[in-house]
Structure 1
Amino acid sequence: MTIAPLGAMGNGMSTKQHLLAYLKEGKGTWISGESLAHRMTISRSAIWKHIRTLREEGYVIESSQKKGYLLRQSSDLLLVNEIQEGLSTSVFGKRGIHYFRHTDSTNTRAKLFASEGAPEGTLIVAEEQTRGRGRRGRRWFSPSGEGIYTSIILRPSIPPNEAPKLTLMASVAVAEALISMTSLALSIKWPNDIIVNGRKIAGILTEISTEMERIDYVVIGVGINVNTSRKSLPSDIENTATSVLMETGNPLPRNALLRAYLEWLEIYYTTFMTKGFEPVMKRWKHLAGIIGRRISVDLIERIRTGEVLDIDKDGFLILREQDGTVERIISGDVTLLNK
């Protein structure tokens, strides 16, 4: 194969990134160590050290004394270069990605970066969360290398009272990404869960910081169960959680799913900021299928039961209770009842 000279590969790339780019350009062909060393103007032993590092990062690279090196499979780790390769967004994931093998919570990390001035579109990803959080302070099961645990920083020019709409917007983006990558029949459960066959496959946690009646930043955290097996689920969620692997029987490339989510999120965020929330809400209602359903809503201090009349323009749930009383629900845990 013909290998471009080092300078043609672009500025700002590390030696390891250049090497990986060369291997990927090979498209499944062997590349000699001598050729790589000559083109990159480093020693063959240095090439070997970088190959070893790439293998540690999850890349499947074959080696042969006679043939050289062959990239068999890219890494499934949520590495910056793997996320950005083929990412078609304009902003999201293009203004900085912070990658962690382990962290307490991507939302916690994101809020720290946001408070230090990180721009809109900054992404935080982790292979594992030790204190992953869901709504109401619940723990989000985040096993290493099996799911997508990510948070993005937004700085929307909307009033603080419109921030809850961003949760619904994110749930639509997650749903669209899963639909585009799988054949799963899913639905959105108000306000922030993605459900497949009655079990949760993804959830969203939105946190906001305001200053002088305006939004300083919003952090949208997303957890998607991708390649988790049923046997690895903790007993407290084994009957309520699911994953792409459990539903389809096949693992899914996490980087491809993350890219799809970022692309859909940017589409719906741009729509929200330029055309208003109505187009987003229309799609949410279509994916949710909750209108007309009987539900119970846990409001912590009480439980309400009734029929969902609508989701209003602010994204709040309109519930008609059994006695005919109509209530506007701002936040709560929804359980679908039998039709």
Structure 2
Amino acid sequence: MKHKIIDRLHEEEGFISGEKLSEEFGLSRTAIWKHVNALREDGYEIESVTRRGYRLISSPDIINYDEIKGELTASVIGKKLIYFQSIGSTNDKAKELAAKAEEGTVIVAEEQTSGKGRLGRSWSSPGRKGIYASIILKPDMEPFNAAKLTLLGAASVALALEDCGIESQIKWPNDIIIGGKKVAGILTEMSCELGIVNYIILGIGINVNQSVEELPPELVDKATSLRIAEGKAIKRKHLLAQVLNRLDELYVQLKVTGDIEQALDICRERSAVIGKDIIVVQGRKQRPGHAVSINHDGELMVRFDEGLEQVISGEVSIRTEYGYV
């Protein structure tokens, strides 16, 4: 009910009486008052004046559906959004719901207590500082093509940042880089059988408003946030809406054409590694090479001493000779 009340307060330019809200929603004025107080606890600034009623002064930077739906243009991604104040992992919750969930359902949280990164790493996810979202996808594709969706996610985040006036690079296959440091990552997980994809979970984590002091000490040299990079706080709800809109555009193209060529072009144009000498890390083995391009299948083409080879997403980590990028 409080979601309906905040929608109504958003619609009103001035005050709306408690009596009118009671009539519209079939609740007592005491019940209305309790819902308004619950909204205040969520961070909404709501003025109340005797004989005039309630007026919305400002909305918090929270990333629930109420706050971003006005900016969403998606036809698939974001039609349904499930919001949590705190959760272990949005990817884990998405996997739990995926079998019965509508394609494009988004699981989003203000905080993750067990956030996950690629290759089993953890992802620091402090409350109301970042974007932690997982999208349930059910593409008609062979399982071996699923890794392409990681690049689709990376391209979507880069475009969304550009929409917000922020330049970034993509470190193949799943990291978004600003100023040589990681600001966002993509985690793709899949369920499949007999050559058929049941679902794919596309997890997106973005460091938005963390200060340097709020980053894990061991990551300060290789991670950053948009606030640190840009020198100002960023509206998370606006950025999340842009990410979902951009992802929807690229994903719908995939469903229509069967390819992700536009996303691949974005990853090539914004690549942090193409044209550079790099080190490919495979387990304990390190191989120096030169990143040449990203091919049609989304694989990184690397020239080693032995010749040109395809490096497959999910098998390697990339480090340049000069550090993280």
Shorter-normalised TM range: over 0.9
Tell me if 1:265 matches 2:247.
Answer: yes
Tell me if 1:176 matches 2:176.
Answer: no
Alpha-carbon distance between aligned partners in 2 of 1:82 and 1:258, rounded to the nearest angstrom: 10
| Partner secondary structure for residue 101 of structure 1 | strand
Say which of 278, 285, 288 aligns to 2:271: 288
Tell me if 1:309 matches 2:295.
Answer: no
Which of 135-144 and 288-297 deviates more? 288-297
Higher relative contact order (CA 8 A, sep 6+): 2
Tell me if 1:47 matches 2:39.
Answer: no
Could you tell me which amino acid in structure 2 is paired with residue 128 of structure 1? E
Say which of 64, 70, 85 aligns to 2:55: 70
Alpha-carbon distance between aligned partners in 1 of 2:192 and 2:25, rounded to the nearest angstrom: 49
- Taking only aligned residues, the RMSD between alpha carbons, in angstroms, comes to 1.8
C-alpha contact (below 8 Å) 1:293/1:337 kept by paired residues: no
Alpha-carbon distance between aligned partners in 2 of 1:21 and 1:98, rounded to the nearest angstrom: 17
Could you tell me which amino acid in structure 2 is paired with residue 336 of structure 1? T
Matches within 5 A, 1:115-134: 116-134=99-117
Alpha-carbon distance between aligned partners in 2 of 1:17 and 1:311, rounded to the nearest angstrom: 45
Deviation of 1:66 after TM superposition, in Å, equals 5.1
Mark the runs of 5 or more structure 2 residues left unpaired by the alignment.
none
Tell me if 1:99 matches 2:83.
Answer: yes
Alpha-carbon distance between aligned partners in 1 of 2:302 and 2:4, rounded to the nearest angstrom: 57
C-alpha contact (below 8 Å) 2:161/2:167 kept by paired residues: no
TM-score by length of 1: 0.89
C-alpha contact (below 8 Å) 2:76/2:252 kept by paired residues: no
Q: Aligned pairs, how many?
A: 320
| Partner secondary structure for residue 140 of structure 1 | coil
1:59 matched residue in structure 2: 44
Could you tell me which amino acid in structure 2 is paired with residue 97 of structure 1? L
2:233 matched residue in structure 1: 251
Could you tell me which amino acid in structure 2 is paired with residue 236 of structure 1? E
The share of aligned pairs that are identical, in percent, is 42
Deviation of 1:324 after TM superposition, in Å, equals 5.0
Which of 155-164 and 326-335 deviates more? 326-335
Alpha-carbon distance between aligned partners in 1 of 2:320 and 2:139, rounded to the nearest angstrom: 32
Say which of 24, 38, 47 aligns to 2:10: 24
Deviation of 1:38 after TM superposition, in Å, equals 4.4
| Partner secondary structure for residue 240 of structure 1 | coil
Say which of 216, 234, 254 aligns to 1:234: 216
Deviation of 1:58 after TM superposition, in Å, equals 1.8
Alpha-carbon distance between aligned partners in 1 of 2:26 and 2:195, rounded to the nearest angstrom: 56
Which of 120-129 and 58-67 deviates more? 58-67
Deviation of 1:40 after TM superposition, in Å, equals 4.1
Which of 49-58 and 271-280 deviates more? 271-280
Which of 147-156 and 230-239 deviates more? 230-239
C-alpha contact (below 8 Å) 1:310/1:319 kept by paired residues: yes
Alpha-carbon distance between aligned partners in 1 of 2:260 and 2:8, rounded to the nearest angstrom: 44
1:111-155 Cα deviation digits (max 9, x unpaired): 1111x3212111111111111111110010000111111101111
Pair 336,185 (structure 1): closer, same or farther in 2 beyond 3 Å: farther
1:176-195 Cα deviation digits (max 9, x unpaired): 111111x3221000000000
Q: Runs of at least 4 residues of structure 1 off by over 6 A?
A: none
C-alpha contact (below 8 Å) 2:154/2:186 kept by paired residues: yes
Alpha-carbon distance between aligned partners in 2 of 1:206 and 1:38, rounded to the nearest angstrom: 47
C-alpha contact (below 8 Å) 2:278/2:291 kept by paired residues: yes
Deviation of 1:103 after TM superposition, in Å, equals 1.4
Matches within 5 A, 1:157-196: 157-181=140-164, 183-196=165-178
Alpha-carbon distance between aligned partners in 2 of 1:216 and 1:40, rounded to the nearest angstrom: 41
C-alpha contact (below 8 Å) 1:171/1:194 kept by paired residues: yes
Could you tell me which amino acid in structure 2 is paired with residue 195 of structure 1? I
1:5 matched residue in structure 2: none
C-alpha contact (below 8 Å) 2:40/2:46 kept by paired residues: yes
Deviation of 1:41 after TM superposition, in Å, equals 4.5
Alpha-carbon distance between aligned partners in 1 of 2:55 and 2:171, rounded to the nearest angstrom: 45
Deviation of 1:84 after TM superposition, in Å, equals 2.3
| Partner secondary structure for residue 274 of structure 2 | coil
